[in-house]
Amino acid sequence: MCYVYVLRSDKTNRRYIGYTQRDVQIRLIEHNAGYTSYDIQHRPFRLIHAQECASIVEARGLEKFLKSGQGRQCLGELGF
């Protein structure tokens, strides 16, 4: 299984959208540990949405959509 997830930075109030084939909670812990320079600058994060996808292709497509203008608008309308 794959997951698309949306995180919110408590520090900067910015969203982070990603996908993973692993457990979403473990991925959240990794983001909060600061493995990348983006993570270090924007942590702590909290999980605001996660969606299970049947395949990695589906997850990549959904991630790409959510990062588009229309996808960001949809997230805003849903309160994310």
Q: Containing H/E element for 3?
A: strand 2-9
- pLDDT surpassing 90 at residue 80: no
pLDDT digits (tens, 9 = 90+) for 15-53: 999 999 999 999 999 999 998 999 999 999 999 999 999
Check residue 44 and give its pLDDT: 97
pTM comes to: 0.91
Q: With the C-alpha atoms ordered 18, 42, 80, 23, is the resulting torsion angle positive or negative? A: positive
Please give the C-alpha separations between residue 39 and each of 10, 15, 29, 43, in angstroms, as whole numbers.
12, 12, 11, 6
78 has pLDDT over 90? no
Q: Is the pLDDT of residue 67 over 90?
A: yes
